A and B are shown apart, each in its own frame.
Chain A
Amino acid sequence: KQEVTQIPAALSVPEGENLVLNCSFTDSAIYNLQWFRQDPGKGLTSLLLIQSSQREQTSGRLNASLDKSSGRSTLYIAASQPGDSATYLCAVPGGTSYGKLTFGQGTILTVHP
């Protein structure tokens, strides 16, 4: 059974800092890994999708890496801004149900001015 863990559970940083969010998964036989952002009470916004053949994916100030062999992914946010405050979730497909995404519990990020 695939299990996804995110560390830390919460993070508070001053504006301008570079930061790293961690995601680990127990079953390395994944096709891809997806990072999402969720604002309070809202839906999920897809940030980055890394295919299993890739090691990194970049979008603006965001960079995600994937190491299948170790079962880890990191999301790097450069020059953090107050608008980055949100919950960040990672998810992997697979398991016993077709097309199912298994999510971590998320990292709550607060960037204060």
Chain B
Amino acid sequence: DAGVTQSPTHLIKTRGQQVTLRCSPISGHKSVSWYQQVLGQGPQFIFQYYEKEERGRGNFPDRFSARQFPNYSSELNVNALLLGDSALYLCASSFSGDTYNEQFFGPGTRLTVL
């Protein structure tokens, strides 16, 4: 069975641009979460979606938005990119998104903002 998939693998953007990252969860999983990991730190929670509804939001500005589609895949959008948005963006899927569910992570998208 396929695990969590993310695309693209790498992205290079310039300041002020917009970017869209994509994630497909494990088959049968209905919840997707997004995390940002800057170099040398642990991942920081951005969003969680379950059944197309936002279930949780971390301490990130409104430039960050996301959505989940009927097939449970998800997109993360970041507008007006800043140099500080350069990071590895990780997607995680779980069955229901409840706190007792194990989360499984994808390979990540490396975003570089110049």
Contact = CB atoms under 8 A, between A and B. Distances in A.
**Binding site of A, secondary structure by majority: helix, strand, loop or mixed?**
strand
Nearest to B3: A43
A86 B43 CA distance: 16
Interface string B85-114: 000101010100111111111111010000
Contacts of B90: 43-44
A7 B110 CA distance: 27
A100 B99 CA distance: 8
Contact of A101 (B41, B45, B107): B45
Contacts of A101: 33, 35, 43, 45, 92, 103
B105 A105 contact: no
Contacts of B8: none
B8 to A, nearest CB: 14
Contact of B108 (A34, A43, A98, A100): A43
A25 to B, nearest CB: 12
Given A49-B102, A99-B98, A41 B58 contact: no
Interface stretch (B49-57, B62-70, B73-81): B49-57
A36 interface: yes
Interface residues of A, number: 27
A41 B94 contact: no
Contact of B48 (A36, A91, A97, A106): A97
Interface string A72-101: 000000000000000001010110011111
Contact of B56 (A4, A31, A34, A99): A99
Contacts of A45: 105
A99 B105 contact: no
Interface of A: 4, 31-32, 34, 36, 41-46, 49, 51, 89, 91, 93-94, 97-106
8 contacts: A34-B102, A44-B92, A45-B105, A91-B42, A91-B43, A97-B57, A99-B31, A99-B97
